Structure 1
Amino acid sequence: MDSREFETLAAVLDNLKDAISSFDVIRQKHIYVNRRYNEIFNASPEELEAQPFKWRTTVHPDDYDYVYRETQRLYQKESIELEFRIVVDGKIRWISDRKSPVLDSRGQLFAVSGITTDITEKKQAELELKHSEYTYRYLFLNNPNPLWIYDRETLAFLAVNNTAITEYGYTEEEFLSMKITDIRPPDDVPRLLEAVRDVEKKHSRTEGWKHRTKDGKILDVIISGHGIIYNHRECEIIMVHNVTEMMKAREEMIIAKTNLDASIDNIDNIIWSIDREYRLLSANKAFRNMLKSKYNVDVELGRSILIPVVDQSSVDRWKLFFDRALAGEVVVFKTKIFDSANTHEIKMYPIYLDDRIIGVVSQGRDVQEALDEALRTQKQNEELREIVELASHDIRGPVASLMGIVPMFNALQPHDPFNAEIINHVRNLALQLDGVLHKIVDKSYMLQQENDAIDGARQNRSTSG
Structure 2
Amino acid sequence: MQQLPTITEEYLHLFREGPLTMYIYDDEAEKFLAVNNTALCQYGYSHEEFLTLRLSDIQPVEEQDALIQQPKIVPGMYTSSGRLRHRRKNGEIFYVQSYSHQTIFEQHTAILFLAIDVDQTEKALEIENILDSITDAFYTINHRWQFTHVNKAYEKLLGRKREDMIGGNIWELFPYGREFSYYDRYHQVVKDQVSVHFEEYIPINNSWVSVNAYPTTEGLAVYMVDISEQRQLRETIYTNEQNLRAIINNTTDLIWLVNTDFKIISANRAFRDRMAGITGRAKDKLADADYPADLLVIWNAYYRQAMDGNSFKIIWTDTKDGNPIYEEVSFNPVFDQQDKVSAISCFSRDITEARIDRERILRQNQQLRKIAWIQSHEVRSPLANIMGLVQLLTATDMPEEEFLNMLSMLKTSADQLNQVIFDIMTQANNHDDVAD
SS in 1 for 2:200: strand
SS at 1:308's partner residue? helix
Instruction: Using the TM superposition, name which of 410-419 and 378-387 deviates more.
Output: 410-419
Q: 8 Å contact 2:333–2:341 — kept in the other structure? A: yes
Query: Against the structure 1 CA distance between its residues 284 and 84, is the aligned structure 2 distance closer, same or farther, given a 3 Å change threshold?
Result: closer
Task: Give the conservation status (yes or no) of the 8 Å contact 1:63–1:84.
Answer: yes
Question: What corresponds to 1:191 in structure 2?
Answer: 185
- Residue 330 of structure 2 corresponds to which residue in structure 1? 347
Deviations 1:165-202 (A, max 9, x none): 112111222222533334414242233212222336xx
Q: What is the alpha-carbon distance in structure 2 between the residues aligned to residue 291 and residue 423 of structure 1? A: 75
Residues of 2 paired with 1:192 and 1:236: CA distance? 8
2:152 and 2:27 map into 1 onto residues whose CA distance is 51
- Structure 1 partner of 2:377: 393
CA shift for structure 1 position 392: 0.5
Equivalent residue number for residue 336 of structure 1: 317
Q: Is the 8 A contact 1:207 1:222 kept in 2?
A: yes
The equivalent position to 2:290 in structure 1, one of 288, 309, 324, is 309
Q: Distance in 2 between matches of 1:112 and 1:327?
A: 95
C-alpha displacement of 1:228: 4.5
Structure 2 stretches lacking a partner, 5+ long: 1-21, 32-66, 83-97
Matched, 1:250 2:254: no
For the pair 1:137 / 2:128, whether they are aligned, the reply is: yes
**Do residues 278 (structure 1) and 266 (structure 2) align?**
no
3-state SS, counterpart of residue 342 of structure 2: strand
Q: TM-score, normalised by structure 2?
A: 0.71
Alpha-carbon offset, residue 96 of structure 1: 3.6
Question: How far did residue 360 of structure 1 move?
Answer: 1.5
Structure with greater Cα Rg: 1
Unaligned runs of 5+ in 1: 1-16, 21-35, 42-58, 73-79, 86-93, 102-110, 454-465
1:154 maps to what in 2?
144
Match of 2:160 among 163, 170, 181: 170
1:348, CA displacement in angstroms? 1.5
Secondary structure of the residue that 2:261 maps to in structure 1?
coil
Q: What is the DSSP-based 3-state SS (H/G/I as helix, E as strand, rest coil) of the residue aligned with 1:290?
A: helix
Q: Cα RMSD over matched residues?
A: 3.6
* Distance (whole Å) between structure 2 residues aligned to residue 117 and residue 367 of structure 1: 101
User: Which residue identity is paired with 2:179?
Assistant: P
Counting only pairs closer than 5 Å after superposition, residues 15-30 of structure 1 correspond to structure 2 as: none
1:116 aligns with 2:111: yes
Contact preservation (8 Å) 2:102, 2:109: yes
Contact 1:95 1:116 in 2 (8 A): no
Using the TM superposition, give the Cα deviation of residue 135 of structure 1 relative to its aligned residue in structure 2, in angstroms. 4.8
- For 1:261, the equivalent position in structure 2 comes to 245
Number of residues of Structure 1 aligned to a counterpart in Structure 2: 360
Cα shift at 1:133:
5.5
**Contact map agreement 2:317 2:325 (CA 8 A) in 1:** yes
Counterpart contact for 1:97–1:114, Cα < 8 Å:
no
1:66-105 paired onto structure 2 within 5 Å = 67-68=73-74, 71-72=75-76, 81-84=78-81, 96-97=100-101, 99=103
- Compute the displacement of 1:405 (Å): 3.7
Residues 431 and 289 of structure 1, relative CA distance in 2, 3 Å threshold? same
Q: What TM-score, normalized to structure 1?
A: 0.67
Instruction: Kindly state the Cα deviation for residue 362 of structure 1 after the two structures are TM-superposed.
Output: 1.2
Distance 1:285 1:192 in 2: 43
Equivalent residue, structure 1, for 2:71: 63
Match of 2:208 among 203, 208, 220: 220
SS in 2 for 1:39: coil
Kept in 2, the 8 Å contact 1:18–1:117? The answer is yes
Letter in 1 for 2:152: N
Alignment check: 8 A CA contact 1:82 1:98 kept: no
Q: How many Å apart are 1:112 and its aligned residue?
A: 8.1
CA 1:297 to 1:95, structure 2 compared with 1: closer, same or farther past 3 Å?
same
Measure the CA separation in 2 of the matches of 1:227 and 1:39.
51
